[in-house]
Structure 1
């Protein structure tokens, strides 16, 4: 990947986070951002020489319950080193490469927003870690979401030449990696230890990737629903644009428009196809259920973009006023609640998928052989699939339960609020991964039903989706190991191929 993302501190996109994290794009720092960093750092260093300066948290005092410590200028290096080591308290499993790169990128961009007062050398180090593919080993659990202190401290270890990293695909000591990369360990100056750990970059970096995954998942989900509607021989009346115009909820309205486009030219638009006046709600209300997920994402996206393009440091350096301001910008409850909402909306989607597949399997509803057997008598076909997707859906229901309000008062009862941001993001990621299995299963059920129904033509876009499914999962004409089909369906979903078809950018 040869693309280069220019960072300014104010216009990083979620798509760019994915490019850097997953496709290895490099980064460069805009000259005006570098100028701001250097100017603010000079001001901070001048203030550090001022003997009359009041006590400032993490600058000339300790942190947390130790804020009553006074830190002398002579003790700054020792204090910052101690801060990083003492905060390195996270536990595994370790973050994967994409998550580490997303974290590095988000923290770097937020440093460029110029509220931190760190040295240019520290900023450069984040950039170099990304471009040299030198990735700190970071245990992923321990943060409660009031800044990802205990996880980000492990990044600080690597900056100082301590701990472990993965460099060019090999795990090694940070000391060795820095030497091989031609970099010197940094000696942290005033406020830099706190700047390294006091950020929500872990949560926000992962969140950016998860939201991208959710958008891809929903593009595929809308298309699979359209194909399932053809397999079911369902009513198209609930797609009527006039109905949505009378109640124009954004997500459902946009989803129905997409589904209509996927079904252009489909046999469903011919009269007399549907057997009943109204389909079960799992089909009839699908655009509204999918649309609820879209509405949750629409709430979440601007909050997340703001998060990755602003400073969440405490204290905040207000360079133009030559002062520090103590604050709670590390509070991310607004967008964490958005993720809780997203998880619950995805849970509704999961249950809907289950009922759609069950209806496809049921002759009384689908008017097809039971469990989509080719003959209904000698092939068991998808008899036991229902147990698998039911188990996956039960996990999703459990994961959709909110946890952002489950916190304790810590640090001598001073830190008595938290959001559990990393946990909320991770459980949403797990929901999405389970849904890849479930949507993959629905996709081959829909293709099997469409083949058995034998009506033509399929929609302009659903025909492409059916062909994509059939390219990896053949028509089931005899009993075979279904786990292999489930895995193929999951891989098809994970590849993004169906999402590309839905977006009109199919792969050659």
Structure 2
């Protein structure tokens, strides 16, 4: 039930990925109707209102005659369709739509209520507009969201049950009629940060899951490395009470339940390399940036980012800058930087796992130094992927032009900030997958060592990797293994099984 005020990131994910249906609360719908009534009153009085009876952007001084309202709003939608590919995925467009529907229910736009019902019906009947995802500089995602509006009026393209077709046909198949735009509808449809926020909810949800997975892979690698658990000590971490660090340390302690590493004098060294010793601190930094970003993003998806802002209780409408998302844009930039550190630590752990000086195992984890090369070359792909992540982590929110007749002289590139974070996450599934491959090989090579046994999470990771990737007893095409590890990690089976064991 959408109210405009309490949408969660998890609910956005359920609508986007699991096709949960949406409903609109009666109170929110009535609020939107009152806002619409105010718009008509202002139009009748000819009060100058941006996007209503005046143009938008540099055309803010152009008068829009009442007889021209419908045609003007259709022209606004068409003229703002300037985005370029690739297309956003169906699940990403659904996320955009549920976010925008929720913020429209606050009654700050004056949009006609029938359009709110169109959002709901398109989501529930699986009509998904085709939306090119590049072209917005982040001061409202106008160039991209216009394509959702275009589909609503029966133009452009859309998917119906995942089959692409002209939007008019998709609406017809779903039993829907195109909307007829009226005063201010065009601006309300195209001007919001719903693309960035919708995609952002999905990315943030994935980052949240990824950091848990990274803790699980790390705990397995620590066992394979025969590492030292002293940095995980609860009191040691309480002495430095960063929330994320302590959360990761607590999780890793749980993941290592039953592990041989808790036995006295079992570690290979008094102190491990920092990629092992500081892993929970690094992963904790990701958690701390997630915490900030989640707070900001929840405000975004439950508040108005409209200009002008309708204040129907005061019977007023005000020009504003509420479309500025920089507070949470910076949060995504920070998450990207934190993930770059997580990536680097994973890469170094993988290097250390294949270095005999540290592990006391054969170089490159070969089972036969005379005849099998093993993991001598696999360091190159994760180094290349990490270089991509390092590049993608560079901030870009400060790079913009003054546009629209130079009246719009601030921007933030939020869609790209979110999308490059999405790419970082995808690369990390490969990088952590390669780490898991090494840890599984090292675990097999240690099987006959005294006291060796895996903990709760390590056993799950080992079994899930070995379900798809056998022990490397002779050289083979490792590209296949890397792809399989990526699929295992991205499939979510490791987190699901570990969490089930922790609950039992």
* Category of TM-score, reference length = shorter chain: over 0.9
Q: Is the 8 A contact 1:217 1:493 kept in 2?
A: no
Counterpart-to-counterpart distance in 2, 1:375 and 1:260:
34
Q: Distance in 1 between matches of 2:119 and 2:84?
A: 23
2:211 counterpart residue number? 218
The SS at the match of 2:45 is: coil
Pair 1:370 & 2:363 matched: yes
Displacement after TM superposition at 1:41 (Å): 1.3
For structure 1, the 5+ residue unaligned runs are 1-5
Q: Give the conservation status (yes or no) of the 8 Å contact 1:141–1:151.
A: yes
Contact kept? 2:219, 2:457, Cα under 8 Å: no
Q: 2:3 aligns to what?
A: 8
Q: CA deviation at 1:169?
A: 2.4
Aligned match of 1:26 in 15, 21, 27? 21
After superposing the two structures, state which structure 1 stretch, 369-378 or 240-249, moved more. 369-378
Which position in structure 2 is the counterpart of 1:327?
Answer: 320
Q: Distance in 1 between the 2:457 and 2:486 partners? A: 20
Distance 1:116 1:90, change over 3 A: same
TM-score (norm 1): 0.97
Alignment of 1:312-461 (within 5 A): 312-454=305-447, 455-461=451-457
Which one of the candidate residues 124, 140, 164 is aligned to 1:131?
A: 124
Conserved in 2, the CA contact under 8 Å of 1:500 and 1:506? no
Select the residue among 484, 489, 492 that pairs with 1:488. 484
Larger CA deviation: 272-281 vs 120-129? 272-281
- The aligned counterpart of 2:139 is 146
* Counterpart for residue 478 of structure 1: 474
| Aligned 8 A contact 2:3 2:24 in 1 | yes
Q: C-alpha distance in 1, partners of 2:205/2:499?
A: 14
SS of the residue corresponding to residue 23 of structure 2 reads strand
Distance 1:444 1:387 in 2: 15
- CA deviation vs aligned residue, 1:127-161 (integer Å, no higher than 9, x gap): 11101110111111100000000001111111111
Instruction: Give the Å deviation of 1:115.
Output: 0.9
Q: How does 1:73-222 map to 2 (within 5 A)?
A: 73-222=66-215
Q: For residue 33 of structure 1, report the CA deviation from its aligned partner.
A: 1.2
| 359-368 or 34-43: bigger deviation | 34-43
Would you say the 8 A contact 2:446–2:452 is kept in 1? no
Match of 2:226 among 233, 249, 258: 233
Structure 1 distance, partners of 2:221, 2:456, is 14
Deviation at 1:506, TM superposition (A): 9.0
Query: Is the 1:443–1:469 contact (alpha carbons within 8 Å) kept by the matching residues of 2?
Result: yes
Structure 1 distance, partners of 2:348, 2:161, is: 47
In structure 1, distance between residues paired with 2:420 and 2:172:
38
Asked whether the equivalents of residues 149 and 197 of structure 1 are also in contact (C-alpha less than 8 Å), the reply is yes
User: 2:468 is paired with a residue of what secondary structure?
Assistant: coil
- 2:464 is the counterpart of 1:468: yes
* CA shift for structure 1 position 376: 2.7
Task: Tell me if structure 1 keeps the 8 A contact 2:213–2:495.
Answer: yes
- Whole-Å separation in 1 of the counterparts to 2:498 and 2:195: 31
The alignment covers a number of residue pairs equal to 501
Distance 1:278 1:376 in 2: 28
Q: Deviations over 1:388-412 (max 9, x none)?
A: 1001001011101000000011111
Write out per-residue CA displacement over residues 217-258 of structure 1, whole angstroms, 9 at most, x where no aligned residue.
111110000000000000011111111111111111110010
- Mapped to 1, the partners of 2:272 and 2:149 lie a distance apart of 57
Q: The residue matched to 1:441 in structure 2 has which SS?
A: helix
Unaligned runs of 5+ in 2: none
Q: CA deviation at 1:505?
A: 6.5
**Per-residue Cα deviation, 1:146-205 (whole angstroms, up to 9, x for no partner):** 000000111111111111111122221112222222222211111110001110000000
Call closer, same or farther: CA 1:492–1:175 in 2, change over 3 Å. same
Q: CA RMSD in A?
A: 1.4
> Does structure 2 conserve the Cα–Cα contact (< 8 Å) formed by 1:231 and 1:449?
yes
Contact 1:217 1:499 survives alignment (8 Å): no
**How do 1:259-338 and structure 2 match up within 5 A?**
259-338=252-331
Q: Which residue of 2 aligns with 1:251?
A: 244
2:36 maps to 41
Preserved CA contact (<8 Å) 2:340 2:389: yes
Task: Report SS of the residue matched to 2:159.
Answer: strand
Match of 1:3 in 2: none
TM-score (norm 2): 0.97
Between the aligned partners of 1:280 and 1:502, the Cα distance in structure 2 is: 27
Q: Distance in 1 between matches of 2:73 and 2:286?
A: 43
Structure 1 residue 504 corresponds to structure 2 residue 500 = yes
